[in-house]
Chain A
Amino acid sequence: MLKYIAKRLLSSLLTLFIIIVVVFVLLRQMPIEGYFDNFDKLDAKQVDAKLTQLGLKDPIYKQLWSFFKNLFNGDLGLSSRYSKDTPITTLIANKAPLSIYMGLMSLAISLALGIPLGAAMARSKSGFWDKFGTVFIVFINAVPAAVYYIFIQMYGTDAMRIPMTFSRDNWLTWILPVVSMSLGSIASNAMWLRRYMLDEMNKDYVRLARAKGVSSRKLMMKHIFRNAFVPMIQYIPASILYTVSGSIYIESLYGIPGMGGLLVDVIGRQDNPMVQALVMIYSSIGIIGLLLGDLLMAVLDPRISFVKKDGAR
C-alpha cells in the first residue's frame, strides 16, 4: 500500500511538473503587446526595458529555473499586472477562503440532497420520486445554468427581502449563491446514484440475498446502496477542485469576491506569474483529489488491490 502511494505520488509530481513546464512555455509564446496597456505609444527602448524588468528577455530555461528556485523557497512571486507588485500568496489568501467555504457548503448540500434523492429514485423506480427526480434532472441539465441562476437571484432575493449583492456578514445572502451552486451537482449525484443502484439491483447477488430471506429494506441499505456508493465516492475528492476554483458566473452575479474567473482574468492580462501559480495550485488539488479518490475506492472495494497478495487471483 505505502509503496503504491509513493509510486502514485511520484507520478503525480511528474505530471505536475509537465503541466507547469508546458504552461510556462506556452505563456512565453504570447504576443508581447499583451504585456502593455499602451503598447502603441511606447518606443522600442521602453518596451525593451519593461520586458527586461518582467524577466522575459532571459532564455526560457533560465526563467524556468528561477521559477522553480523561488517555488522551493515558498515564493510564488509577485503579480505583474493583475494587481501590480502584490505577492501572489496574499492575493490568493484574500480570495480563496470565500470560494472554498461556499464550495464546501454546496458540496455538502449536494451530497445531503443528491444521495437521498438518487436512492429514493432507484427504490421507487417509475414511481413518484423517480418521476420527480427525472423531471428535476432533465430540467437542470437542459436549461442553461445561467438562466435558472438569474431566476433564483431575481425571485429569491425578492422573496427573502435581501439585497442582491453578497455580504460576508449577512448569512442570508449566502443562501442563494450556495443553493445555485449545488443544484447541478445534486442532479448529477442523484442521476449517477440512481443509475448505479439500478445496476446493482439487477445483479445475481441481490437475487441470492433475497432468496436467502433478506428483507427489501435491508437489501437496499446493506447491499445495493453500499455497493452503488463505491463508484461515486471516487469522484468526491476530485470535485473539491471545483470548490476552490469557484464559479465565475455565480460570483459575478452576486458580487462575491472569490476565485471564480480569476484564472481567465489573469490569462487575459498576461500576468504570467499569476497564471503559473494558479495553474500549479489547481492542478495540484486536482491531482491530489484523483489520488485520494483512488485510495478511498481501494479501501472500500477489496477487488482493487494495490499489491498482488500471494496466492490470490
Chain B
Amino acid sequence: MSETILSVRNLDLKFDLRGRTLHAIRDVSLDVYKGESLAIVGESGSGKSVFTKCFMGLNDINGRITGGEILYGGMNLAAFKTEKEWLRIRGREIAMVMQDPMTSLNPLKTVGAQILEAIRLHQSELDKAQAHKAMLDILSDVGISEPEKRARQYPHEFSGGMRQRVVIAIAVACKPKILICDEPTTALDVTIQAQILKLIKDLVREHDMTAIYITHDLGVVANVAQRIAVMYGGDIVEIGTCEEIFYDPRHPYTWALLSSLPQLGIKGEKLFSIQGTPPNLFTEIKGDAFAPRNPYALKIDYEKRPPFFEITPTHKARTWLLDPRAPKIEPPEAVRKLSRMEALSNG
C-alpha cells in the first residue's frame, strides 16, 4: 500500500448524555492510505458515523475525545479545540457527502449559490467570474445538464438523485484530499443508487481523492471499496481488503453480517438474522462486544478484549478464535458458500 494520509491511533470518544456517559468509540486505530477507497461497515449505532465525524470535528459538543490521536498532514486533529483550527480541515482537506439529499441543502438558497459558497471558501484565488465558471463546470461534472439554468433553481426543483449530485458537487468544489461519503445512497431510489456510486467513484479517481464510505449496505461496499473495516459496538473488529472480508472473513460478526445477506440465503428457508441486540454503550464493555450474540463465543471473549490477530499483512481481526489455542471452528454455511463462489470464479 502507498503512504498513509490519515492515521487514527487508539481513538476514544465519549458522549455525555444527561449525566450518563456513552462510550461511542472504544480505542480504535485505523490507517487510511492515500488514494484508496475504504468502506466502514456496521449496523446502526456501531459508531461508524461518529468515528468519521471525529476527522472533521463535526460531532455534537457533548461528544469529547478522551484519548488517542488523529494524525493528518502533521497535525493531531484530536487535539483541535477551536473552530479556527477546524476551518483549516473542513471542506479544504476533508469533505463530506451526507446521507439525505432531501434535507442536506438549504431550501432558500439557489443550488448555484450553495456550490459557489464552497468555491469561494476554498478557492479564494478565483475572481467572481472564474468562480461562477467553476461552479457551472462542477455542475456539469456531476451530470447535471443545462447547468446555467439549473444553478438558478432551488433545491425543491430537483429530484432526490439530482440533489445528491448537487451535494456531491459541493463536496468536490471544496477540492478536498479526503472525501467521506456517509451512506450516500441510503435515501435514494435503488435505480439511482448505482449511478450515484459510479459518479462518486469517477470523481474520486479524477480528482485524486481518498474515499471513505460509511455504509451498512454490503452491496455498496462490494461495488466501491478496496478495503473494508467492519465496526461493531464502537470498535473495528475486522479489517481487510474487499476480497479478504467477503471470501475469507474471520470474525464471527463479519460471518453473521454476510450470512444475513438475502442473496446468500437459501430459498424457502428463513433469512438469517443476528440474535440479540447491539451492546449498550452506556455500560462499560468487557471483553469482546459481540460475545453475548456470538454463538461461537469462548469464555475468554467475555473477559478480555481480543487483540488484533494478523491473518495477512492486510487482514486483521479481533477475535479470540484466531488464537492458536482456540478450538477450530468452521464458518457458517453462507460464508463457506461465498468462498466457494470465489474459488469457482477464480478457477
Contact surface of A with B, Cβ cutoff 8 Å: 203-205, 207-216, 223, 226-227, 230, 300-303, 312-313
A-chain residues with CB within 8 Å of residue B153 when the two chains form the complex: 312
Q: Are A214 and B121 in contact (CB under 8 A)?
A: yes
Q: Are A302 and B118 in contact (CB under 8 A)?
A: no
Choose among B106, B117, B118 the residue that contacts A227 (Cβ–Cβ < 8 A).
B106
Indicate whether A205 sits within 8 Å of B107 (C-beta atoms), given known contacts A212-B95, A213-B121, A213-B122.
yes
**17 CB < 8 A contacts A-B:** A203-B103, A208-B105, A210-B58, A211-B56, A211-B90, A211-B96, A212-B118, A212-B121, A212-B170, A213-B90, A213-B122, A214-B121, A215-B87, A223-B109, A226-B108, A301-B107, A302-B154
How far in angstroms is the closest Cβ of chain B from A202?
10
Q: Are B108 and A300 in contact (CB under 8 A)?
A: yes
Contact surface of B with A, Cβ cutoff 8 Å: 56, 58, 83, 87, 90-92, 95-96, 98, 100, 103-109, 117-118, 121-122, 153-154, 156-157, 167, 170-171, 174
Indicate whether A205 sits within 8 Å of B154 (C-beta atoms), given known contacts A210-B58, A213-B122.
no
Choose among A207, A227, A230 the residue that contacts B98 (Cβ–Cβ < 8 A).
A207
B-chain residues with CB within 8 Å of residue A215 when the two chains form the complex: 83, 87
Q: Are B118 and A216 in contact (CB under 8 A)?
A: no
Task: With CB as the reference atom, state the residue of chain B lying closest to A302.
Answer: B154
Q: Are B104 and A227 in contact (CB under 8 A)?
A: no
A-chain residues with CB within 8 Å of residue B167 when the two chains form the complex: 208
Task: With CB as the reference atom, state the residue of chain B lying closest to A312.
Answer: B157
A-chain residues with CB within 8 Å of residue B100 when the two chains form the complex: 204
Query: Once bound together, how far apart are the Cα atoms of A223 and B174, in whole Å?
Result: 18
How far in angstroms is the closest Cβ of chain B from A4?
18
Query: Once bound together, how far apart are the Cα atoms of A211 and B109, in whole Å?
Result: 17
Other than A212-B90, A213-B90, A213-B92, give 9 A-B pairs with Cβ distance below 8 A.
A203-B103, A204-B98, A204-B103, A204-B104, A210-B58, A211-B56, A214-B117, A227-B107, A302-B108
Query: Once bound together, how far apart are the Cα atoms of A207 and B98, in whole Å?
Result: 9
How far in angstroms is the closest Cβ of chain A from B146?
11
Query: Once bound together, how far apart are the Cα atoms of A101 and B178, in whole Å?
Result: 59
Q: Which residue among A207, A208, A212, A214 has the maximum number of chain B CB atoms within 10 Å of its CB?
A: A212
A-chain residues with CB within 8 Å of residue B56 when the two chains form the complex: 211
Indicate whether A207 sits within 8 Å of B58 (C-beta atoms), given known contacts A213-B91, A302-B156.
yes
How far in angstroms is the closest Cβ of chain B from A308?
12
Indicate whether A211 sits within 8 Å of B106 (C-beta atoms), given known contacts A302-B154, A303-B156.
no
Query: Once bound together, how far apart are the Cα atoms of A303 and B157, in whole Å?
Result: 9
How far in angstroms is the closest Cβ of chain A from B291?
35
Q: Which residue among A213, A214, A230, A303 has the maximum number of chain B CB atoms within 10 Å of its CB?
A: A213
Query: Once bound together, how far apart are the Cα atoms of A226 and B117, in whole Å?
Result: 16
Task: With CB as the reference atom, state the residue of chain B lying closest to A213.
Answer: B91
B-chain residues with CB within 8 Å of residue A301 when the two chains form the complex: 107-108
How far in angstroms is the closest Cβ of chain A from B174?
6
How far in angstroms is the closest Cβ of chain A from B334?
36
Query: Once bound together, how far apart are the Cα atoms of A221 and B130, in whole Å?
Result: 26
A-chain residues with CB within 8 Å of residue B174 when the two chains form the complex: 212-213
Task: With CB as the reference atom, state the residue of chain A lying closest to B110.
Answer: A302
Query: Once bound together, how far apart are the Cα atoms of A203 and B104, in whole Å?
Result: 8
Task: With CB as the reference atom, state the residue of chain A lying closest to B98.
Answer: A208
Query: Once bound together, how far apart are the Cα atoms of A227 and B109, in whole Å?
Result: 9
Task: With CB as the reference atom, state the residue of chain A lying closest to B119.
Answer: A212
How far in angstroms is the closest Cβ of chain A from B228?
24
B-chain residues with CB within 8 Å of residue A209 when the two chains form the complex: 106, 117
B-chain residues with CB within 8 Å of residue A214 when the two chains form the complex: 117, 121
B-chain residues with CB within 8 Å of residue A300 when the two chains form the complex: 108
Choose among B104, B117, B157 the residue that contacts A313 (Cβ–Cβ < 8 A).
B157
Q: Are A211 and B108 in contact (CB under 8 A)?
A: no
Task: With CB as the reference atom, state the residue of chain B lying closest to A230.
Answer: B108
Q: Are B118 and A213 in contact (CB under 8 A)?
A: yes
Choose among A210, A227, A313 the residue that contacts B108 (Cβ–Cβ < 8 A).
A227
How far in angstroms is the closest Cβ of chain A from B193?
19
Task: With CB as the reference atom, state the residue of chain A lying closest to B96.
Answer: A211
B-chain residues with CB within 8 Å of residue A216 when the two chains form the complex: 83
Query: Once bound together, how far apart are the Cα atoms of A12 and B121, in whole Å?
Result: 47
Query: Once bound together, how far apart are the Cα atoms of A313 and B159, in whole Å?
Result: 9
B-chain residues with CB within 8 Å of residue A227 when the two chains form the complex: 106-108
Pairs of residues from A and B, 6 with the lowest C-beta to C-beta distance, nearest first: A213-B91, A204-B103, A213-B90, A212-B91, A211-B96, A302-B154
Q: Are B106 and A212 in contact (CB under 8 A)?
A: no
Q: Are A212 and B171 in contact (CB under 8 A)?
A: yes
Query: Once bound together, how far apart are the Cα atoms of A301 and B108, in whole Å?
Result: 6
Q: Are B58 and A205 in contact (CB under 8 A)?
A: no
Q: Which residue among A209, A230, A303, A313 has the maximum number of chain B CB atoms within 10 Å of its CB?
A: A209
Task: With CB as the reference atom, state the residue of chain A lying closest to B170.
Answer: A212
Query: Once bound together, how far apart are the Cα atoms of A214 and B113, in whole Å?
Result: 13
Query: Once bound together, how far apart are the Cα atoms of A205 and B56, in whole Å?
Result: 16
A-chain residues with CB within 8 Å of residue B122 when the two chains form the complex: 213
Query: Once bound together, how far apart are the Cα atoms of A302 and B96, in whole Å?
Result: 27
How far in angstroms is the closest Cβ of chain A from B113?
10
Query: Once bound together, how far apart are the Cα atoms of A313 and B154, in whole Å?
Result: 11
How far in angstroms is the closest Cβ of chain A from B147?
16
Query: Once bound together, how far apart are the Cα atoms of A202 and B91, in whole Å?
Result: 20
Q: Are A208 and B96 in contact (CB under 8 A)?
A: yes
How far in angstroms is the closest Cβ of chain A from B81?
14
B-chain residues with CB within 8 Å of residue A205 when the two chains form the complex: 103-107
Query: Once bound together, how far apart are the Cα atoms of A211 and B117, in whole Å?
Result: 12
Query: Once bound together, how far apart are the Cα atoms of A210 and B96, in whole Å?
Result: 10
Query: Once bound together, how far apart are the Cα atoms of A212 and B154, in whole Å?
Result: 19
A-chain residues with CB within 8 Å of residue B105 when the two chains form the complex: 205, 208
Q: Which residue among B58, B105, B106, B170 has the maximum number of chain A CB atoms within 10 Å of its CB?
A: B106
How far in angstroms is the closest Cβ of chain B from A14?
31
Query: Once bound together, how far apart are the Cα atoms of A208 and B171, in whole Å?
Result: 9
